[in-house]
Amino acid sequence: MGPDKFWTGVGALTSIGWLLAGGCSFGSQGTGTDLAITDSGIVADAPTADTAVADVSPEDSQDSQATLDVSEGGSPDIAGDGFDDVPDAEADVGSPVLTMSGAKIATGSLLDLATEGSVGWAHWGLDTTASFNHKKGSSLITTGPAAGASQWPYYSLKISWTDGEPTSSVAETRSGILQLKKGDGLGFQVDGATLKGKVRIYVSCYQCTGTIRVSLTGAPSVEASLPAPGDTNDLERWTVDFSTPSPSAVLSVSLVKTNIDGSLGLLAATVAP
């Protein structure tokens, strides 16, 4: 080997020694490329797949380089203990679940809000359009906007309660609120005070068509057409089953009238385990 090749090889080895002492690594992001010394200089071996090698500069390096295992969608293993350092949220926490179904209510049915709404309940339109009663001491259900709505006192569902506010008890009322115009709506929210439960919504759809849409934080929303299957007397109950890992999740209910004729009404809602 001639002098030129000798000093070239010495220079290459000296450079490698300096880089290793400084804590740097050879490699290309996402390929894990290795380096080798030959008579012709420093060349790269064939890349290895599925491993990304992170360059660690001398000032950032402490004990060793950080190797990020990203094979098959894995999370970074910074600690080097064989376990992902970023947890899988769905596996550890669970996902929100939301389902809904509707059915007609027989004329003259009775609804005791205190019994059915053991976690919370709400009633709309006791005396005026603005009347909003709910379970005493509970702010679980909050009413939504009802611009253009009217009070209606002659529904066939007989409603009572004994644990309410601002009206403490009602032996029987058949009132609620309603919308007459196409495109107008009604709604409410169930705020995050429970992680799992059942919401029942009492609706009137008299000669109307419409939609009921329910959404839950973190879950796909569900929507159905009004009236409910089999409803011929304009009263129906929609049942929503939900569960969520988040105590701050919000469940929202929206009713919208989609035709010109008839009326769309909201009477009451209950929340139970």
CB atoms within 10 A of CB 113: 25
Place of tokens 């849409």: 213
Within 8 A by CB and 6+ apart from 112, the residues are: 160, 161
Distance separating alpha carbons of residues 22 and 5, to the nearest angstrom = 26
CB atoms within 10 A of CB 265: 29
**pLDDT tens string for the chain (273 positions)?**
544 444 444 444 344 343 334 444 434 444 444 444 444 444 444 444 333 333 333 343 333 333 333 333 333 443 444 434 433 333 334 789 999 999 999 999 999 999 999 999 999 999 999 999 999 999 899 998 788 999 999 999 999 999 999 999 999 999 999 999 999 999 999 997 578 899 999 999 999 999 999 999 999 999 999 998 777 778 999 999 999 998 889 999 999 999 999 999 999 999 999
Six-digit token pair at 160? Answer: 């009572």
The CATH 2.60.120 portion of the chain extends over 93-272
Q: Which fold has domain 93-272?
A: Jelly Rolls (2.60.120)
Distance separating alpha carbons of residues 26 and 15, to the nearest angstrom = 12
